[in-house]
Structure 1
Amino acid sequence: MPSKFTWRDLLALNSKEQSFNTPLSCICHIDINAFFSQFEQLRCKFTENDPVVCIQWNSLIAVSYAARKYGIKRMDSLEEAKKKCPKLIPIHTAVFKKGESFWSYKPFGYNIDPSNHKVSLDPYRRESRKILKCFQKYCDQVEKASVDEAFLDLGRIIFKEIMTCKFFGKIQNKFIHGDYKLDEKLPDLFDIVSHNSIEKDSEEYWKFLGDVFNPNKRSIFVDWDDISILIGSKHCFKIQQIIRNEFGYMTSCGVSNCKSISKLASDFKKPNGHTIIKTNCLEDFLDQGKFEITSFWTFGGIKGKELVEILGLPQENSISYIRESWPNSHLELLEYLKTKLLALSEFKTYSIKVESSQECELVCLKLYLLTRGQWKELVNPKPVVKNMSAVKNMRGGTCACLQDCYSWLKVFCSELSSRVNELEKEYNKAIIPKTIHVAFRGCEKYQFVKRSKSSGLLLTSSKTTYEALYKNAIELMQELDKAYKQVMYPLTNLNMSISNMEILSAGSSVIDLFQKNMNTKNTNDIVNTKDCGAPLEQATKKDAIASEGASFYQCDQCDMSFSEKKEYNEHVDYHYAMKLSENLNGADEFSTSLSYGERLLLFGNKSNHNNSISNSNNNNNNNGKVLKKKVETATTNKKVGILKYFDT
C-alpha cells in the first residue's frame, strides 16, 4: 500500500522551524518525578525506598514515591504526614536569613523561624540547569517547560537515522541521487520492513522501547509516522537512561506527534514511565477515561472551566463529546460558542469576549484540534522572560522599620541577581532588566495600605549584580518610607521585582543595550547620540604599558588604571552610561564627563570642586576613585541639563 506521506513531509523533519508541524513529527516530554524530594534524597544520600518529603515551614511541597505508599499527599501538614509514617524523613528547603545575602541549608531538626527566613529555590534551579544542558547536548531543539520538565523535538535525530541506518537503504539511495520530487509519495513502508526482516538484528530494531498505548490492538506499523515515533521513542529512552546514570533521577516520558499529547502521556505512568502514543491510537488515548478538556495544560485554568460552562460540556467524556458534537469544522464550534456567549454574558463576565472574534476563533480551533490530538505547537528554546519577583509575607513585627526593609531587600537582591545570572548561563544570553519595582502592604491597623514605587534601573556593567540591585532598591524604599512612614509599619508584605528585560547575545555589554535603544528612538528624542559620544572616544585603550612587569589599561577621562581588560571595559561602560543619563537627567558639579569650561558655565567657580581638580593633578588614580564615588552617591545635588546650554 503506498504511503500517504510525501518527501516534503520527511524533509521537514530536518528543519527546526518545520519539524513540529509535519505529519511525521515526533515530540517527547520528559518530567523528573517528584523533583524536589528526589533532589533532597540524593543530596542527603538517602535511597529511593526512604520516605523523604521536602518541606517549607510546616507544609509539604514535594512527596517522594516511597512516602506516597503511606498515603501521604502534598496537601498534608507535616504533623499529619508523620502520623501516617512515623519514619518520615522531612528535609527543609534551603533558606535565606533576614539581613543575609546568601542561602544555606540548616541541620536536621533545626527549628527554622519563618518570620526571619525566606525559602530559596536556587539549589533546584541550578540542578535543573544541569539537566537541561544534558538534554541540549543530545537534542538541538529543547524547550524548558518548568524547573522539572522539558519538551524535545527529535526531528533532526530521526531524519539522520533514516538517512544513515542500514535498514533504510532504499530511501537513502533515492535521496542521495535526488531521485524524488517533493510531493512524491514515500516508498511503501511494507517493502522496507519486509526487505529487512531477514537481517539477524532487524527483529530487535523494530521493537518499541517503552509502553505503546494500544488497547484495541491496532496495527503497529502502518506508515512512516509509526517509524518516526519508533525512532524517537528509542532516543528518548536513551536520554532517560543518561539522566538516570549521570544524575540519579527517575523520569517519566511521553512520546507522540505533538506537545499536548506527549505532556499527557508523560503523566500517564509514574514513576519511571515511558508511554508511547502512535498516531492511529491518539483518540483511544484521549478517550480512555482519565482526561477531560481541563487536562490539557493550556486549558487547565480559568479558561478551561469557562469553556465547560459556556459549551455545556459533561463532567466526564468531554473530549469525545466535542469531537462528536462538532465533527466537521471548528467553525461549527465557533458559531455555537458565540451564540452561547451572547446569551450568558448578560448575567456573567467571562475572560473570553464575543467581541474579540479572532480570540474566539483561535480558542475554537485549538479546542477542535486538541480533542483530535492534532494541535501542533513549536518546541521553542527561546527564553520568554518578562519579569522576576521576590516576595515575603511578614509575620508579627519582623519588618517594623526602614532598617528591617533594608535587611529583606538584601535577601531579595541576592535572590534576583542569582536567578538572572543562572538564566544567562542556561540560555547563553545576556539578560538586562531595565525597570525595578518595590511594593509593600501595610498592617491591619492602617487597612493594609498598599503602595509601590518604580524606576529605571541603571546598571554600571552588563551583569545584573547584587550591589547594583540593592543600591536601586534602597533608594526606592527610602522614598516609600519618607512618604508613608506613618501608615505602613509593621509591614505584612514586601516584594521587589525587576522587569522590562532586554535579551542580548552572550558577551554583549551595556553599551550594546544603549546603542540598541538609541537606534529605535525617533528624531524628537532628547538624547542625541552625537553628543553622547562613543565610549572609545572617552576612554580609549592605550597600548599596554609595562609597569613593574605588568600591563594595564588606563582611562583618559579619570586616569584610573586597570590590570584586566574586562574590568577596564566595564569601567568604560560606566562612563558611557553616565553620559547618557546626564543628557537625559542633567549633570551635577561632580560629573567627570564635563569639561572645565562646561563646569564653570553651569556651576561657577566652586571651591570644593577646585580642590578636587587640584587634588586630581597630584594623585590621578586616587582622585579618579573619589570622583567616581561622588558621581554614584551624589543624589541630592542640584542638577542642570547640559542640553539646555549647548546645541545638540
Structure 2
Amino acid sequence: MTSSPDFLSSPTTPRRTRRTRRKSRFTYKNLSTLAHSSPTCPLRVIAHIDLDAFYAQCETVRLGINPAKLLAVQQWQGLIAINYPARAFGLTRHVTITEAKEKCPEIICQHVATWKEGDAKWTYDLDSVDAAREIATRKVSLDPYRIQSRRILALIKDCLPADKQRVEKASIDEVFIDLSAQVHALLLERYPELRGPAPYDDPSEPLPRPPTTALDWAADALLDLDATQSEEDDPDWDDICTLIASEIVRDVRQHIYTDLHYTCSAGLARNKMVAKLGSAHKKPNGQTVIRNRAIQHFLSTFKFTKIRNLGGKLGDEVVAAFNTDLVSELLPVSLEQLKKQLGDDTGAWLYGIIRGEDTSEVNPRTQIKSMLSAKSFRPSINSFEIACKWLRIFVADIFSRLVEEGVLENKRRPKTINLHHRQGAQTRSKQAPIPMGRQMTEEGLFELARNLLAQVIVDGRAWPCANLSLSVGGFEDGVKDNKGIGGFLVHGEEAKALREQAVKVKSRAGGGRSEMPPAAKKRRVGEGGGGITRFFGGHAREESAGREASRAGDEDDINLAEVSHAAQHTGAGGEDGDEEEEELYFASEEECQAEDQRPVSRPQHAQDHLASSQSLIDQVYPPEPDGGPPQSNHDDGDGVQIHTHPQSMTDTYTCPRCLTNLPEAEKAEHEDFHFAQDLQQEASTPPSARPLPKPVPPAKTANTPRPPSGERGGGGARGRGSGRGRGRPPASSTLGQERGQRKLAFG
C-alpha cells in the first residue's frame, strides 16, 4: 500500500497580474484652484486672439470687396497695413506707396479717414494720389478701426458665460481670455467622477487618471512634444483642459467670422506669454495649441527678443552679455550667472520666462483710460490762430469718441485735459481740470484747450511749433440716479396746499397741546424726593408763571403757560407717546408739609450737632421777618437783582477759618484753597519770620459732631488726623529742609 504524500503540489497556473490604475500628476487642490483662475494653477488655460491684418480687414469689410484681392491701408505716403494676399508679393509696411504700386499694380491703396477744419466728422474723401498735398491741412483719424474693435470685443463677451469670463483687451486687435473657470465647469460636467470630495478630505490626493486615451484636436495646429515626452503616453488632465478650451475658442472665432466677417488667429497655452507666441505661429485664420508637454520644445525655436519685455533695451543687454539671441542657447546658462549679469530680480525673471514660466494675470479691464489726438506739422506752424484751428479738430476728434463712451448719458467722463506742445527740442505740457458740475460740450473743451495753449505762449518761445497734441484722462463712472435740486422743490397746487396747511397750524398754535410740537426734554424728578425740589417748589412755580406771562403778548410764540400747565398734568410719556420725553414735577405745598411732618429718627449726638450748627447759620443768615427761608441778594453787574437761597442745613459746611458757608461737597476743595494760600504766604516770608503752621481741624463726617476747638487733633491740611487725639508737632526747622517742607506734618 502506498501512502500519499503529506503535501500535494497544485498544478502550475499562470500568474494573474493585477492592473494597477495609475494616478494623475494633478491633485484635487489643482482642480479647485482652476475654478478660481489662479495664475499658479498648472491646469490653467489662456487664449490669445489676434485679428489678421486688422486695419486692412476693416477696409475690406467696409468696401465690401473680395478678401482675396490685394489691399493696403495708406497714411499719407506710407503704408500702415497690408493684407495677406498682398504680403505674398513681398510687400511690407516699410515700403512707400510708389514701391507698392510698382510691385503690384492691381493693389488697392485705401487712405485712412481724415479730419479737416469745419468737418463735424471724419471722412474718407481724401484720394490716395492727393494725400501728399493735403498733409498740412488734414489730420488722420483711426476711429473707424476703434469702432470695429469694440464690436468684436462685445461679440467675444457674448459668446462666453457672464459669470465666468475674464477678458483683457491687450490692444486694438488683440484680446487675452482666461478660460480656466469655464473649463472647470465643463470638466465637471463631462467627468462626474471629479465632482466628489477628495479621498480622506485631503486636497493633496492625486486625481484619478482620465479615462480617455486619445484626443481629437480637430483642425488645431498641435506642436511637437518635448524630447522627453511621447505621443504614446496617455493624456492627463492638463491635456483635457486644453482640449476643452480649444473647442471654446474655435466657436468664438467662428462667431466673429459669421457675424462680423473678420478672421482671426488664436493661441492656447497655460500662460499669456506662450499663448501670444502661439497665436502668431499659424496665420492667418489659424489656431495653435501649445500643451504643457510641448512648451520647452516650442520656445527653443524662438529668439528671446520676440518675447514680451525682451525686445527693447533689456533684450539688447542680454544679447551683449551672452552673445546670443536664441532661447536654446540661453537655456544652459545657470541661474547664478543670470543673476550676476542682470541682477537678482531680472536674472530670476529671465531664467523662468525662457522656460515658459509666467504668472501674469488676465486683467479684465476693457475701458479706456485716456484719449489722445495729435498732429506733427511739416512744415511747422507759426501762429496762435493756426494752432487754434488744429485744436478745434483735436477737440472734435476727442468729443466724438467721448460720445461713444457715453459722456452725454453721464456714463463715463474724463476729469482732466492735457496739452503737449513741442518747439524744437523743447516739449511743454499744461493741464487743467474739466468742470464736473455741468454737461460736457465740445465748445467747453475747446475753450479749455485754447486757454492751455495761451499759457504755453505766455511762458515764451512757442513758435515755430512742430507737434501739438491734446488728450483727456482720469476717466470715472458718472453718478447714477442722482436727484437734482429741482426734485426737492414743490410747485403749483402742491405748494399752495402746503402753504394753506401751514397757516392753519399757525392759527391754532394756542388752542391745545395736540397742535404743538413736543416740549423740550426735562429731567424727571421723583415724586417722593425731598431736597432742592421741595425747598424751591413754590418759588419755581412763581418764576415759571412770571416767564409765561411775560411771553403771552408775543403772537408768534407758543403759549408756554398752557404747555407748562399740560406738562404738570401729563405723565412722562406725554400725549404724543414719546417715551423719552420727561416732564419736571413740582411737589405741592400739602405734600411738602406732609413730608416735613414725618418723624425722623436721628442719634442724640447728631441732634446736638444740628442745634449748634443752626445757631451758627442764624448768625450768618438771619431769618426773614416773615419766617421764610433766609435769602441773599446781589447784583449781577447789569443792574438785575439775583435772589439766592442757601443750601439745606444738613448739606452745608462752615469753614472755621473764614466762616464761609459752603456745600458739603465743596469742603475738600475749600480746604485745599487755604492750603495753597499758606504755601504762597510761607514762600514770600523770610525763614526767620515764618511762624509755625497751624493745625487744621479734622475732617467732619455726616454722623460725627464737630468737637470743640480746644479738643481738635492736629494734622496737615491733606493728611487730616481725624482719628487722633492730638497732632504731631512739625519737625524742627534747623536741619536745612527744602523750601515748603517744614509745614508738612507726617504722623
TM-score (normalised: structure 2): 0.58
1:215-242 Cα offsets, whole Å, 9 max, x none, are 6653464311111111111111111111
Deviation, 1:101, is: 4.3
Deviation, 1:164, is: 1.4
Q: Among 428, 437, 446, which residue is 1:460 paired with?
A: 437
Hey, what does 2:193 align to over in structure 1?
A: 170
Taking the aligned partners of 1:67 and 1:99, their CA distance within structure 2 comes to 36
- Is 1:478 the equivalent of 2:454? yes
1:27-42 aligned within 5 A? 27-42=46-61
| 1:394 aligned counterpart, secondary structure | strand
Contact 1:21 1:377 in 2 (8 A): no
Hey, what does 1:625 align to over in structure 2?
A: none
Amino acid in the other structure paired with 2:30: D
- Give RMSD over aligned pairs: 2.9
Amino acid in the other structure paired with 2:243: L
Hey, what does 1:396 align to over in structure 2?
A: 379
Amino acid in the other structure paired with 1:322: L
Contact 1:260 1:375 in 2 (8 A): yes
> For the structure 1 residues 412 and 337, does the alpha-carbon distance in structure 2 shift closer, same or farther, using more than 3 Å as the test?
same
Hey, what does 2:420 align to over in structure 1?
A: 439
> For the structure 1 residues 543 and 210, does the alpha-carbon distance in structure 2 shift closer, same or farther, using more than 3 Å as the test?
farther
- Is 1:157 the equivalent of 2:182? yes
Hey, what does 2:390 align to over in structure 1?
A: 408
Structure 2: which 5+ residue stretches go unaligned?
A: 1-21, 495-747
> For the structure 1 residues 160 and 452, does the alpha-carbon distance in structure 2 shift closer, same or farther, using more than 3 Å as the test?
closer
Hey, what does 2:489 align to over in structure 1?
A: 542
Hey, what does 1:613 align to over in structure 2?
A: none
Q: Which stretch shows the higher mean deviation, 113-122 or 207-216? A: 207-216
> For the structure 1 residues 185 and 76, does the alpha-carbon distance in structure 2 shift closer, same or farther, using more than 3 Å as the test?
same
- Is 1:335 the equivalent of 2:339? yes
| 2:262 aligned counterpart, secondary structure | coil
- Is 1:46 the equivalent of 2:46? no
Taking the aligned partners of 1:158 and 1:280, their CA distance within structure 2 comes to 19
Hey, what does 2:306 align to over in structure 1?
A: 295
Hey, what does 1:578 align to over in structure 2?
A: none
Amino acid in the other structure paired with 1:321: E
Amino acid in the other structure paired with 1:459: M
Deviation, 1:465, is: 4.3
Hey, what does 1:611 align to over in structure 2?
A: none
Deviation, 1:391, is: 1.5
TM-score (normalised: structure 1): 0.66
Amino acid in the other structure paired with 1:396: P
Q: Among 320, 344, 357, which residue is 1:374 paired with?
A: 357
Contact 1:417 1:464 in 2 (8 A): no
| 1:272 aligned counterpart, secondary structure | coil
> For the structure 1 residues 429 and 6, does the alpha-carbon distance in structure 2 shift closer, same or farther, using more than 3 Å as the test?
farther
Q: Among 51, 56, 60, which residue is 2:75 paired with?
A: 56
The structure where helix makes up a greater share of residues is: 1
Hey, what does 2:7 align to over in structure 1?
A: none
Deviation, 1:307, is: 2.5
Deviation, 1:431, is: 4.5
> For the structure 1 residues 488 and 11, does the alpha-carbon distance in structure 2 shift closer, same or farther, using more than 3 Å as the test?
same
Q: Among 224, 235, 247, which residue is 1:214 paired with?
A: 224
> For the structure 1 residues 150 and 44, does the alpha-carbon distance in structure 2 shift closer, same or farther, using more than 3 Å as the test?
same
Q: Among 316, 330, 333, which residue is 1:325 paired with?
A: 333
Taking the aligned partners of 1:365 and 1:335, their CA distance within structure 2 comes to 7
Contact 1:441 1:494 in 2 (8 A): yes
- Is 1:503 the equivalent of 2:476? yes
1:303-332 Cα offsets, whole Å, 9 max, x none, are 2222222x32413x3x23332211xxx4x2
Contact 1:100 1:407 in 2 (8 A): no
| 2:170 aligned counterpart, secondary structure | strand
Contact 1:23 1:257 in 2 (8 A): yes
Taking the aligned partners of 1:302 and 1:449, their CA distance within structure 2 comes to 25
Amino acid in the other structure paired with 2:442: Y
> For the structure 1 residues 508 and 111, does the alpha-carbon distance in structure 2 shift closer, same or farther, using more than 3 Å as the test?
farther
Deviation, 1:407, is: 1.4
1:620-646 Cα offsets, whole Å, 9 max, x none, are xxxxxxxxxxxxxxxxxxxxxxxxxxx
How many residue pairs end up in the alignment?
463
| 1:43 aligned counterpart, secondary structure | helix
Contact 1:99 1:408 in 2 (8 A): no
Deviation, 1:384, is: 7.8
Hey, what does 2:276 align to over in structure 1?
A: 263
Contact 2:456 2:462 in 1 (8 A): no
Contact 1:449 1:488 in 2 (8 A): no
1:15-44 Cα offsets, whole Å, 9 max, x none, are 14x2x3210000010100100001101100
Amino acid in the other structure paired with 1:409: L
Contact 2:338 2:351 in 1 (8 A): no
User: Which of 1 and 2 has greater Rg?
Assistant: 2
> For the structure 1 residues 415 and 87, does the alpha-carbon distance in structure 2 shift closer, same or farther, using more than 3 Å as the test?
same
Contact 2:73 2:82 in 1 (8 A): yes
Which structure is higher in RCO with an 8 Å CA cutoff and minimum separation 6?
1
Taking the aligned partners of 2:351 and 2:492, their CA distance within structure 1 comes to 71
Taking the aligned partners of 2:469 and 2:127, their CA distance within structure 1 comes to 29
1:254-274 Cα offsets, whole Å, 9 max, x none, are 011010000000011111111
Hey, what does 2:24 align to over in structure 1?
A: 3
| 1:492 aligned counterpart, secondary structure | strand
Amino acid in the other structure paired with 2:454: Q
Deviation, 1:214, is: 1.3
Contact 2:324 2:330 in 1 (8 A): no
- Is 1:233 the equivalent of 2:252? no
> For the structure 1 residues 39 and 385, does the alpha-carbon distance in structure 2 shift closer, same or farther, using more than 3 Å as the test?
closer
Contact 2:111 2:126 in 1 (8 A): no
1:395-442 Cα offsets, whole Å, 9 max, x none, are 236x442222221111112222344454569xx995443332223234
> For the structure 1 residues 421 and 293, does the alpha-carbon distance in structure 2 shift closer, same or farther, using more than 3 Å as the test?
farther
Deviation, 1:449, is: 5.5
| 1:3 aligned counterpart, secondary structure | strand
Deviation, 1:393, is: 0.9
> For the structure 1 residues 490 and 248, does the alpha-carbon distance in structure 2 shift closer, same or farther, using more than 3 Å as the test?
same
Contact 2:24 2:237 in 1 (8 A): yes
Identity %: 29
| 1:193 aligned counterpart, secondary structure | coil
Hey, what does 1:469 align to over in structure 2?
A: 445
Taking the aligned partners of 1:416 and 1:219, their CA distance within structure 2 comes to 58
> For the structure 1 residues 277 and 493, does the alpha-carbon distance in structure 2 shift closer, same or farther, using more than 3 Å as the test?
same
Taking the aligned partners of 2:97 and 2:311, their CA distance within structure 1 comes to 28
Deviation, 1:298, is: 2.2
| 1:406 aligned counterpart, secondary structure | helix
Deviation, 1:455, is: 2.4
Deviation, 1:85, is: 0.2
> For the structure 1 residues 280 and 488, does the alpha-carbon distance in structure 2 shift closer, same or farther, using more than 3 Å as the test?
same
Q: Among 316, 319, 322, which residue is 1:305 paired with?
A: 316
Structure 1: which 5+ residue stretches go unaligned?
A: 195-202, 339-359, 512-534, 548-648
> For the structure 1 residues 142 and 423, does the alpha-carbon distance in structure 2 shift closer, same or farther, using more than 3 Å as the test?
farther
Contact 2:74 2:128 in 1 (8 A): no
Contact 2:169 2:365 in 1 (8 A): no
